[in-house]
Structure 1
C-alpha cells in the first residue's frame, strides 16, 4: 500500500451531517465510528452519539476524514489536521520523527487500541499532523 495524505476536519457535533452532505455531493462510501462505541472516558466535551472517526472514500479516490472530538491542541471546529496514512510503520516512524523537529508532540507515536501506530504533533509552523500507520489502519 502506498502512503496517503488526507485532510482531517474537526467539528463540534455536526461531523456526521457534514460527511453525509459530502457523500451526497461527491458520492462514495461513508464509515462512521461513534464515541459510544469506543473504549475509555472521553470527557465532558463530547456526546456519546458524536462521531469519533468518520471516513468518506469518494469514487474519484479522495479521502475526507472528520471527527466531533476536540483535538489535544484544542483546535476550534473547522480546524484541519493533515493525516499521513499507510501500512509501513518504519516509514511512518521516520515521517513522524522528521516532522517533530521543533514541534510540540500532542499524542506520542505508539500502538493504539484500533491496532495502528498513531501519533500527533503541531509542527513549528503551527500545522497539526497525525501519522496513522500499520495494522489497523482503515485506509
Structure 2
C-alpha cells in the first residue's frame, strides 16, 4: 500500500484557469468536471465552475483544485502575505507548495513558468542550503518554493 499527499487548492471561479496554467508549466493530463457535469442545471450561476479538477504529469507533479460553491466574485489576489526580511521568511499562510528537482536545469523552466504574472518573494538562485532556491506567489495567490535538492553526500 502507498499513500500520496496531493495539494488541493480552493478557488472562487478561477480553478479552470489555474489548472490550465499549471498544466502549461508542468505538462501532464488535465481533468476537469463542472457542477453542470454533475447535474446542476446549466443555466444556474456557477454551473460551469469546477467541482473536480486535477493535473497529473509524468514527472511526478500532481495538483487538485475546485471552485468553492456559492456566489463569489473572482478577485485578483492582493499582496502576498509572505515576505523575506533579514534573511527570514515571514508569513501568515498555512502552507506553501514546494517543487524540488535534482538539477538547476530541471527546475529553471518551472520557475520561469510560475513566475509569469507572479510576485517574486525570493529570487531564484544559489542559497546556503541548496544549489538553487526561489519563492514566489503566483498569479492566483498560491505561494511556491522551487528548489534543487542539496547533495548531502559531499563533505
Same fold (TM over 0.5): no
Structure 1 or 2, whichever has the larger Rg, is: 2
TM-score with structure 2 setting the length: 0.39
Task: State the structure with bigger RCO (CA 8 A, min sep 6), 1 or 2.
Answer: 1
TM-score, L = length of structure 1: 0.43
